[in-house]
Amino acid sequence: MGDKKLSHKMIDLGFFSALGTIEHVGGNSGEGRYIRLGTPNTYDLNNGVAVVYDEVGRPWIMNGLHLPREIDDIISQHSLVRGAYVPHSNDGGRFVLKTMPRL
């Protein structure tokens, strides 16, 4: 994957940009909140959802049960730090399991 930007690698690996999506924590109840920029070069995994925040803090998510083999190399190459907020990890799987596959 060479010297590509982290964001380009996320696209190549099938991650989805969650920036600007609406998260409904706890299911469908109540108003949602927009996913915004986070801390650049961070990552984490929660409730089966993986996130990587790229070089400018854009959140890229994927079903954490299907992470590509290359993710460990990317974490190392870009010195990613664990401890990021994981968007759509507390909505009962609604976004990752039901919405993303249709996009």
Domain boundaries, the chain: 6-102
Q: Is the pTM of this model over 0.75?
A: yes
- Using DSSP bridges, classify how beta strands 42-46 and 59-63 pair: parallel, antiparallel or unpaired: unpaired
Query: What pLDDT score does 1 carry?
Result: 46
pLDDT of residue 28: 59
The per-residue pLDDT for 12 is 94
Split the chain (103 residues) into runs of 10 and give each run's mean pLDDT. 84 95 74 93 95 98 91 96 95 81 76
